[in-house]
Amino acid sequence: MVVYCDFDGTITQGDVTDTLLIELADPSWRLVEAEWEEGLIGSRECLARQIPLIQGGWRAIEKQLDAIALDPTFGDFARWCMAHNVPLRIVSDGIDRVIEVLLARAHITVDAIYANHLAESPAGELSLAFPYPATERVCRAGLCKCERMEDIADTSLRVVIGDGRSDFCWVSRADWLFAKSRLLAYCRVEGVACTPFENFNTVRLAIARRLSRQRRLFRTAAPLYASTNVR
């Protein structure tokens, strides 16, 4: 089992990127947002045009992050995953440095973070780079979440946790989907099987029950398997 989790709006209480734009960016960011909402551009172009509009550089962003809260149940979930050898990977179409700072402040460790890379010039100008571009031309996201799921064994159970539009693309590749907010509404309209959740306690308990059942089945089957090797 490998757990893939969105960040903005899923682990955080509210969308961090939107908050930074609202508080720090030139108002013209809303015009770019409207193009994205209408489907005229993808999130990669949208973010590439919006991030340079943020004023005050990284120092202003870091100060604004003081007002961002994480889901209070995520820390326990992350520690549970580590204790039970369940890989936990954050896959976000947001900003890597933001994710790293917020997790570090909460003393939370995960196995991997995949996100867009924030860069700052000596003059304090911000830009966004995309280290995980999609190989399929049809994908216009800054980070293709689907492709981040391709590096595990086919026998591993892919667990996906998400809340919004950036998660629509990988629901078809998830073996087990936890959804809330806009993603949950999308799944209900499209008939996508999912498990609704409000916080990570729900996710942790559900995964724990499944692992417990699997281990019971393994213990029951193990003697039968072993007996086939007796000569």
Residue 14 resides in a domain: yes
* Phi then psi dihedrals of residue 36, to 5 deg: -65, -45
Instruction: Give the number of domains in the chain.
Output: 1
Mean pLDDT of 42-54: 95
Which residue segment(s) compose the domain that 60 sits in?
2-222
Residue 229 resides in a domain: no
Q: Which two tokens stand for residue 127?
A: 């830009």
Residue 228 resides in a domain: no
Residue 169 resides in a domain: yes
Give the model confidence (pLDDT) of 124-140 as tens digits. 999 999 998 766 656 78
Residue 231 resides in a domain: no
One DSSP character per residue, 136-161 reads STT--SSS-TGGGGTTS-TTS-EEEE
Among 2, 11, 1, smallest CA distance to 197 is for 11
The percentage of residues in the chain with a pLDDT greater than 70, rounded to a whole number, is 89
Query: What stretches of 43-199 show up as alpha helix (H) in DSSP?
Result: 43-50, 57-64, 74-83, 96-105, 181-190
- The DSSP secondary-structure symbol of 95 reads E
pLDDT recorded at residue 224: 47
Residue 155 resides in a domain: yes
CA gap 196, 147 in Å, rounded? 24
The percentage of residues in the chain with a pLDDT greater than 90, rounded to a whole number, is 76
Mean pLDDT of 103-132: 95
CA gap 141, 132 in Å, rounded? 10
- The DSSP secondary-structure symbol of 166 reads G
Q: pLDDT band at 151, cuts 50/70/90? A: low
Q: 29-40 burial by CB neighbour count: b if 16+ within 10 A, else e?
A: beebbeebeeee
> Cα–chain-centroid distance for residue 154?
21
Does the structure show a pLDDT above 50 at 16?
yes
pLDDT recorded at residue 228: 42
The pTM of this model reads: 0.88
CATH number at residue 137: 3.40.50.1000
Residue 84 resides in a domain: yes
Give the model confidence (pLDDT) of 152-194 as tens digits. 666 689 999 999 988 998 998 899 999 999 999 999 999 999 9
CA gap 206, 197 in Å, rounded? 10
Comparing 79 with 155, the larger pLDDT belongs to 79
Residue 152 resides in a domain: yes
